[in-house]
Structure 1
Amino acid sequence: MLDLLDTDTHTPATMIAATIDTSMEGLIYSKNLEPDMEKDNMKRTWRSRMLFKSFLLRKASRGTARRNPYRPTAEELSQWAESLDNLLNSKCGLIAFRLFMESEYCVENVEFWVACEEFRKINSRSKLRSKAKRIYEEFIREDSPKEVNLDFHMKETVDKCLLVPTQNSFQAAQNKVYFLMEHNSYPRFLESELYSNLCKTTEGE
């Protein structure tokens, strides 16, 4: 199960790195989906249900499941539907959206966005350089492990900006990825079984 953290001292990057057990991971990362559309839809539905359970429940120290203290309220869920900004700026929202992106095989987009947000908060020049290199190697470089969908011209822009890294070196690329999430993944998230089930848990609040 997803082991959510119980304090407010953790950064979004820490929250987003919450672990998933091996059975869940197998469902999320399986690339051997049947080509048949009906079977694929059934598997997506099953993944969504598993993700929903992992979001609402966590393992207690004695091995029993208890209610997740990070369960969103009805007001929060309503705010998530207003804009992608509201979703990403909510701790619960960021976790839920990342889980959804895992099931869609495009989690690198939200992870890149988070990395860029943290990068813009760095003040040390040496830390900017080292962090810029890590982000580039992980998300930008061709055939990188989590390469995001950027065209050749955008990658050229990033390359030029990184000659002398500043807090805004990845701004254009981050905006591009945000646009893709806002117009593709975000609408699907709002229509997903994960979001629908979360809304059902708050009915009557």
Structure 2
Amino acid sequence: MQSAMFLTVHHDCGPMDKSAGTGPKSEEKREKMKRTLLKDWKTRLSYFLQNSSSPGKPKTGKKSKPQTFIKPSPEEAQLWAEAFDELLASKYGLAAFRAFLKSEFCEENIEFWLACEDFKKTKSPQKLSSKARKIYTDFIEKEAPKEVRRKKKCPCFRIC
């Protein structure tokens, strides 16, 4: 049975977002949604970590390298359940998340995110230009080799 994981990204699009939904009830609703989202992530990550330790049936007729599974400490895995940034900052967490995305046939999403993070850290204008071009040709351009899915009408996502 395949499980589904959705990555939610909060982005401040402008003044309308800030003015809409203010007040104590709105804050309570946001906190409740945040707790629900965190519980959902914990469940999905624990499910993935439990199921990633069983290699499954090897394919017949092909020689393959034996799979090695890297297990993080329980404390490190607990941090992942509390903050998605902790998962992405950990080499084990990133490897686990990448394996999960690969199993869901959407590994390009984490590759795109990593490329964008690298782009944000770049200082040289020459390198910025070449990295931007590479991100565009690899992930955004129509029929790109690792094309990421995006909403056409999203006001927060603009290509210049």
Instruction: Give the alignment's TM-score, normalised by structure 1.
Output: 0.44
| Residue aligning to 1:92 | 92
* d(CA) in 2 for partners of 1:152, 1:141: 13
Post-superposition offset of 1:86: 1.5
Equivalent residues in 2 for 1:108-147 (5 A)?
Answer: 108-147=108-147
Post-superposition offset of 1:157: 5.0
Letter in 1 for 2:84: L
Equivalent residues in 2 for 1:3-152 (5 A)?
Answer: 51-52=52-53, 70-152=70-152
* d(CA) in 2 for partners of 1:155, 1:141: 18
RMSD of aligned Cα (Å): 3.0
Letter in 2 for 1:114: L
Post-superposition offset of 1:141: 0.9
* d(CA) in 2 for partners of 1:66, 1:143: 33
**CA distance 1:131–1:102, change in 2 (3 Å):** same
CA deviations over 1:29-62 (Å, ceiling 9, x no partner):
xxxxxxxxxxxxxxxxxxx9995357xxxxxxxx
CA deviations over 1:159-200 (Å, ceiling 9, x no partner):
22xxxxxxxxxxxxxxxxxxxxxxxxxxxxxxxxxxxxxxxx
Letter in 2 for 1:146: K
Sequence identity (%): 43
Equivalent residues in 2 for 1:162-181 (5 A)?
Answer: none
Task: Give the total of aligned pairs.
Answer: 103
* d(CA) in 2 for partners of 1:156, 1:85: 21
Higher RCO by CA contacts (8 Å cutoff, separation 6 or greater): 1
CA deviations over 1:62-111 (Å, ceiling 9, x no partner):
xx97976x530000111111122111111110001001110000111111
| Residue aligning to 1:173 | none
Letter in 1 for 2:104: E
Post-superposition offset of 1:147: 1.1
| Residue aligning to 1:43 | none
Q: Report the structure number with the largest CA radius of gyration.
A: 2
Moved runs in structure 1, 4+ residues, more than 4 A? 48-51, 64-68, 153-157
**CA distance 1:130–1:153, change in 2 (3 Å):** farther
Contact 1:140/1:155 (8 A) holds in 2: no
**CA distance 1:109–1:127, change in 2 (3 Å):** same
Unpaired segments ≥5 residues, structure 1 = 1-47, 55-63, 161-205
Between stretches 102-111 and 77-86, larger displacement belongs to: 77-86
Unpaired segments ≥5 residues, structure 2 = 1-48, 56-64
